[in-house]
Amino acid sequence: MLRAPGVYAAQGDTFLLVSALRREGLAPGSRVLDVGTGSGALAVAAAQLGAEVTAVDVSRRALGSAWANAALRGKRIGVRAGDLLEPVRGRRFDLVVANPPYVPSPRESPPRRGIARAWDAGPAGRALLDRLCRGVPGVLGPEGVVLIVHSSLCGVEATCSTLERAGLRTQVVSRARQPFGPVMRARARWFEGRGLIGPGQREEELVVVRGARER
């Protein structure tokens, strides 16, 4: 995937979510929203399945990368600049996919600029996750589904319970373990000090949480 400088590169979490997306059995013409699109890997995967895709990101470089990656594959996607769900307020989607920033950080608030805003998410790693989970039912259609990928370090139960309080039925549909990347390795001692990992642990579990409207 092409990406402009400072745009998050597709990695293990992206690929895990792409696999979960493909298992949803999207019908042609399904309305899909990709929140925090980055280089557009998820948006492109959905478009290749025949979906009508809208991609959202706070980074205009990311949106340009996503649009270009879709165009290079003969697909068109809509792009919207803005924070999480705000750019699509009032619209409804059959499927929402999200790979939001989720890495716990010593900083109290997520950064406003720079590449670190693609992963830093406050001390609990939930600065954006909780907002997303609370708001996503407002953009789901009658039988809408949301798929969210993140690390177990920031609380799988918290994601499920927040979605359930918002009226969705939840389950973990994918799990995968992977070694820490550079950002996680650099914070491993801090994670240990906060009790987020055990002594010497240098791998994490990625999960995809699925939330669906009750029928």
pLDDT, one tens digit for every residue, the chain (215 residues): 888 888 988 999 999 999 999 999 999 999 999 999 999 999 999 999 999 999 999 999 999 999 999 999 999 999 999 999 999 999 999 999 999 999 999 988 888 888 888 899 999 999 999 999 999 999 999 999 999 999 999 999 999 999 999 999 999 999 999 999 999 999 999 999 999 999 999 999 999 999 998 76
pTM of the full structure: 0.95
Domain presence at residue 206: yes
Q: What confidence score (pLDDT) does residue 173 get?
A: 98
Residue 101 has phi, psi (to 5 degrees) of -55, 135
Task: Say which residue the tokens 């708001």 belong to.
Answer: 135
Contacts of 173 (CB under 8 A, 6+ apart): 20, 23, 147, 208, 209, 210
Domain presence at residue 3: no
- Per the structure, the complete domain to which residue 132 belongs is given by 12-213
- CATH of residue 149's domain is 3.40.50.150
| CA 134, chain centre distance (Å) | 14
Domain presence at residue 85: yes
Which residue type is seen at 49?
A: L
CA distance 75 to 71: 5
Q: What confidence score (pLDDT) does residue 215 get?
A: 65
Distances (CA, A) of 101 to 8, 52, 71, 150: 10, 24, 26, 8
Q: What's the total number of domains in the chain?
A: 1
Residue 122 has phi, psi (to 5 degrees) of 80, 175
Q: What angle do CA 113, 127, 203 make, to 5 degrees?
A: 90
Q: Are the C-beta atoms of 66 and 40 separated by less than 8 Å?
A: yes
Domain presence at residue 77: yes
Domain presence at residue 57: yes
Domain presence at residue 1: no
